[in-house]
Amino acid sequence: MAKYLTIAPMQLADIDEVLVIEHLCFPTPWSWFAFHTELSENHYALYIVGRMGERIVAYAGAWLILDEAHITNVAVHPDWQGHGFGKQILLALLARAKAKGASRATLEVRKSNHKAQQLYLRNGFVFRGVRHRYYTDTGEDALIMWKDNLDDVAAFVEITG
């Protein structure tokens, strides 16, 4: 039986729970201040959380600039990976970005993060380039990926709420 996340806009009160996931998923996690700034000052920001019951188990974010959604974060708590929640949170983010005027999306992903690359490839993203030594913590390259058409995600917002 498939499990579905309850999707909602990220609120300031969600930051502490989001930070737990952030620290478990990324070698150089964002700070509380970074998320607070995104939510309270960045007018281009779109951040959502995915809950199972009352617990936040996934989150995602993007900057909406003109007709593009630049994805900044997609993460699922390690205890909840393998249930399709990465796909759910990604598609919910893209559906909301489309509803706000985005027609395409882009992101950078670590060259070593094969799991994330597969998620993006399975959901219509393609490789378009490399940002050499993009990640300052390790000097790792970033792969640039694009999804040129968000038409296939428009209905997903109705499923997830």
CB contact at 8 A, 108 and 141: no
What tens digit of pLDDT does each residue of 81-128 get? 999 999 999 999 999 999 999 999 999 999 999 999 999 999 999 999
Helix (H, G, I), strand (E, B) or coil at 27: coil
Per-domain residue ranges for the chain? 6-160
User: pLDDT for 25-70, tens place per residue?
Assistant: 999 999 999 999 999 999 999 999 999 999 999 999 999 999 999 9
Q: Which residues are catalytic?
A: 108, 120
CA distances from 142 to 25, 39, 119 (A): 16, 25, 16
State the Cα–Cα distance between residues 133 and 123, nearest whole angstrom: 26
The whole-angstrom separation of Cα 130 and Cα 105 is 16
According to CATH, the topology of domain 6-160 is Aminopeptidase (3.40.630)
User: Residue holding tokens 């995602």?
Assistant: 60
Total-model pTM: 0.93
How far is CA 41 from each of CA 12, 18, 28, 79, 134, rounded to the nearest angstrom? Answer: 12, 18, 22, 31, 25
